[in-house]
Amino acid sequence: MPELPEVETTRRGVEPHVIGRKVTRLLVREPRLRWPIPPQLPRLLQGQPIEAVERRAKYLLFHTPVGMMMIHLGMSGSLRVLTAGEAPARHDHFDIELSDGGVLRYNDPRRFGCCLWIGPGQSHTLLSNLGPEPLREEFDGAWLHRLSRKRKTPVKVFLMDQRIVVGVGNIYANEALFLAGIRPDRAAGRVSLARYEALASLIKQVLTSAIEQGGTTLRDFVGGDGKPGYFAQQLYVYGREGLPCKRCGRPLRELRISQRSSIYCVACQR
């Protein structure tokens, strides 16, 4: 699943190709995504300039004078910047055709993504109750420590709760916990303020590094410029079960936490 760095990489990739361009047509080939594409969306978007492309959590928000188009990449979605006339592939579900002849094409083999509309002055339930962005100042160790008190849930599950902080998915939670020396199954309420301060700083570091390197190479993810990310080369634990720890050399182990794979080092994480 594309995580926050992959979504931010996509935003940065498509932004210069769409800002200031008008939408000449929204061509919908398959409206049946996780939630159906609103039938009025082509009419609402036609002729509207795209003023900004924002990311909130893993949602991309395309601002126009009459509202926002909200896109989520789901588990396997991608946005590609193409030129007009390129034939669609099997899972290319819609095109945003632009006034300069460019096309923003959405591909999603599993159809778990979405393309929805938010009217002016409105909000959306999918954006409600979201925690802070992990790269902003309001997210820090004190925030994590305060919300974690008396919680018995594993700290990894706590970090992946979008009400606590957005965008820290499975890959980057594994990596940050390793760097902080915290076992992923430790109870969130048993992590000290000092360790949460270190963890919050490392989450920022890991996500920033991943964004700078273009996201993590996943089988289904391709950036907005058509190039895969390269952060996978830097991973310490994710996808490395049984391989030697890059710090101590012991074989990495796997835990199943909330039905998700969690790779950790028995020596380096406590």
**pLDDT tens for each residue of 58-67:** 999 999 999 9
What are the φ and ψ backbone dihedral angles of 140, each rounded to 5 degrees?
-155, 180
Domain boundary among 127, 162, 188: 127
> Which one is catalytic: 55, 58, 183, 240?
58
- Name the β-bridge partners of 251: 244
| 229: confidence class by pLDDT, cuts 50, 70, 90 | low
Judge whether 105 lies within some domain: yes
150: containing domain: 141-264
In terms of domains, do 205 and 248 share one? yes
Is 218's pLDDT higher than 60? Answer: no
Same domain, 174 and 210: yes
Residue 133 a catalytic site member: no
Examine residue 270 and state whether it is found in any structural domain, yes or no.
no
The phi, psi pair for 175, rounded to 5°, reads -65, -45
Residue 208 lies in a domain: yes
Confidence of residue 225 (pLDDT cuts 50, 70, 90): low
Burial of 162: CB neighbours in 10 Å, binned 0-12, 13-18, 19+: middle
* 46 and 117 together in one domain: yes
Active site residue 58: yes
Any domain includes 106: yes
Same domain, 18 and 106: yes
- Name, in order, each residue with C-beta under 8 angstroms of 106's C-beta and a sequence gap of 6 or more: 71, 77, 78, 79, 92, 93, 94, 95, 96, 113, 115
Backbone angles phi, psi at 90, to 5 degrees: -60, -40
186 counts as catalytic: no
**Does 146 count as an annotated binding residue?**
no
pLDDT for 264 beyond 60: yes
Which pLDDT band, with edges at 50, 70 and 90, does 220 fall under? very low
Residues 76 and 171 in one domain: no
Which amino acid, 237?
V
The answer to the question of residue 188 being in a domain is: yes
* DSSP H or E segment with residue 253: strand 253-257
- Provide the strand spans (E) within 23-159: 23-28, 52-56, 59-64, 67-72, 78-83, 92-98, 102-107, 114-118
The two three-digit tokens of residue 26, written as one number: 């929204």
Which CATH number do you get for residue 88? Answer: 3.20.190.10
CATH of the domain at 172: 1.10.8.50
- Shared domain for 111 and 178, answered yes or no, is no
State whether the Cα torsion 36-41-42-48 is positive or negative. Answer: negative
Shared domain for 186 and 122, answered yes or no, is no
Of the three residues 127, 160, 178, the one that is the final residue of a domain is 127
* Catalytic-residue membership of 65: no
The answer on 169 and 210 residing in a single domain is yes
Tell me: the pLDDT tens digits for 158-174?
999 999 999 999 999 99
93 labelled as ligand-binding? no
The response to whether 63 counts as a known ligand-binding position is: no
**In a shared domain, residues 172 and 232:** yes
Which among 101, 127, 153 is the end of a domain? 127
What's the confidence (pLDDT) of residue 233? 59
Domain count, the chain: 2
Position 219 scores a pLDDT of: 45
Both 122 and 150 in a single domain? no
Please check whether residue 269 lies inside any domain of the structure.
Answer: no
Strand partners, 216: none
Same domain, 189 and 88: no
Q: Phi and psi at residue 190, in whole multiples of 5°?
A: -105, 15
Q: Which of 3, 6, 8, 175 is catalytic?
A: 3
Q: Is 243 part of any domain?
A: yes
Q: Dihedrals φ, ψ of 204, to 5°?
A: -60, -45
Does the residue 26 lie in any domain?
yes
Higher pLDDT, 3 or 73: 73
List all residues 6 or more positions away from 213 whose beta carbon is below 8 Å from its beta carbon: 229, 230, 231, 234
Question: In this structure, are 8 and 95 located in the same domain?
Answer: yes
Which member of 25, 186, 246, 260 is catalytic? 260
pLDDT exceeds cutoff 80 at 269: yes
